[in-house]
Amino acid sequence: MSDWTIGIIGGSGLYAIDALEEAQWIKVNSPWGEPSDEILCGKIGHVRVRFLPRHGRGHPLIPSKVNARANIDALKRAGCTDVLAISAVGSLAEDLPPGRFVTVDQFIDNTKGRPSSFFDSGFVAHVSMGDPVCARLSKFAANAVETAGGDVTEGATYLAMEGPQFSTRAESRLYRHWGAEVIGMTGMPEARLAREAELPYALLAMVTDWDSWREGEAAVDVSVIIEQMQRNSELAKKAVEAFCKGLPKKRNPSPIDRALDDAVITAPEHHDKELMTKLDAVAGRLFRYQ
């Protein structure tokens, strides 16, 4: 086996990975609450894989009820070195039609009230989010889509909205004005939490619809989305397999592996012991020997 243990977060329409060998569902407990589901553990080629369906098998969870903290913490506890998230999105750009895949490189967070950090008073940390995804993983993901026979665009700004309703036409036009190119409901705070957990993270978005900004066209309809989502998910499964098989045997260190090195500013004498206990998987290396 290689040095990679890849966490795959499956979005809408992706609830299992057919290519997974020695597959076994394992429950991973988290002090941050219940993860979306058990984790499907196995391997693809030379890579260990930990698959977590973001909305749970059968899609019982609405976006605002997805416990992103528990999900990221559980993947970290399961030994993940890196995370590839798969998400269904709407398009806000003419050159990103339904059926196209996109590697996200920036986010605009327009969610409301979701817990967005593992850190709190008593253990304060501020990680850098200027470049919120891992460029190395994103490149591997884009190559995998091409290998699987899909069309892919590298680099787009993802607008994370609260949901579960779709955008009004006015909102859709506003998000385009902001510079957003795709829109979804789950990329944030997931990407923030992955960075706090020192997990290199990439988001591979599957375009299902045009959102609601195009003049003279019907607004977003969930039946159309589901139809496109089913087509996308078959390609996504092939892309995940190609992604894992395309990773080099040796995993070179990433700067994100040590994202917390200069992030914590709370003096040791003011550390909250209860919070530190909850942070054992996310940030335990910082205080393991204190």
Q: Is 262 a catalytic residue?
A: no
Q: Could you tell me the residue ranges of all domains in the chain?
A: 5-287
Q: At what angle do helices 280-287 and 68-77 cross, to 10 degrees?
A: 60
Residue with tokens 């992706």: 14
What average pLDDT does range 51-80 have in this prediction?
Answer: 96
Amino acid at 264: V
Q: Is 209 a catalytic residue?
A: yes
Catalytic position from the list 209, 261, 262, 272: 209
Cis peptide before 189, with omega less than 30 degrees from 0?
Answer: yes
pLDDT in tens, 15-54: 778 888 999 999 999 999 999 999 999 999 999 999 999 9
d(CA 182, CA 156): 7
Q: What is the pLDDT of residue 289?
A: 46
pLDDT in tens, 185-231: 999 999 999 999 999 999 999 999 999 899 877 777 777 777 777 77
Catalytic position from the list 211, 257, 262, 272: 211
**127 or 216: which carries more pLDDT confidence?**
127
d(CA 23, CA 35): 19
CATH 1.10.1740.10 corresponds to the domain 5-287: no
